[in-house]
Amino acid sequence: MTDARTRIDETVKGHDVVLYMKGTKDMPQCGFSSRVAGVLNYMGVTYQDVNVLADEEIRQGIKDYSDWPTIPQLYVKGEFVGGCDIITEMTLSGELDQLFEQHAVAYDKDAAEKIREANA
């Protein structure tokens, strides 16, 4: 069995978009995870979800991997983007759209605009 850091590294580098979260994209188990998964789901982003509640090594390991103390954590093309507050701010400012475009990650631009309109 490989260690948590190796498994995390393989997951982050093996998928364009990865969300480490409490619960799953279909059944988030905390409000912060639900918010980020909700944004990604609404925007139609294809992503790998990793339920940290299912594996204590991954739950602690992802915090060590990113040097970030909280979950959820979003990765795009192998790079740590941020947690709930950062993803929320990036969504509302349009920075998340730009990040997806820079990395050729497909998303629904109209849905992203609707999120901004609803929060204006």
- Note the pLDDT of residue 1: 46
- Note the pLDDT of residue 120: 85
Residues in contact with 42: Cβ distance below 8 Å, sequence separation at least 6, in sequence order = 108, 111, 114, 115
Tell me the pLDDT band of 104, cut-offs 50, 70 and 90: very high
Delimit the domains of the chain by residue range: 4-118
- Note the pLDDT of residue 96: 98
Give mean pLDDT, residues 26-34.
97
Cβ contacts of 50-59, under 8 Å, gap ≥ 24: 50/11, 50/18, 50/19, 50/20, 50/21, 51/21, 51/22, 51/23, 51/24, 52/20, 52/21, 52/22, 53/22, 53/23, 53/29, 55/4, 57/3, 57/4, 58/4, 58/7, 58/8, 58/20
For domain 4-118, is the CATH number 3.40.50.80? no
- Note the pLDDT of residue 2: 65
84 is in an annotated binding site: no
- The 10s digit of each residue's pLDDT in 48-59 is 999 999 999 999
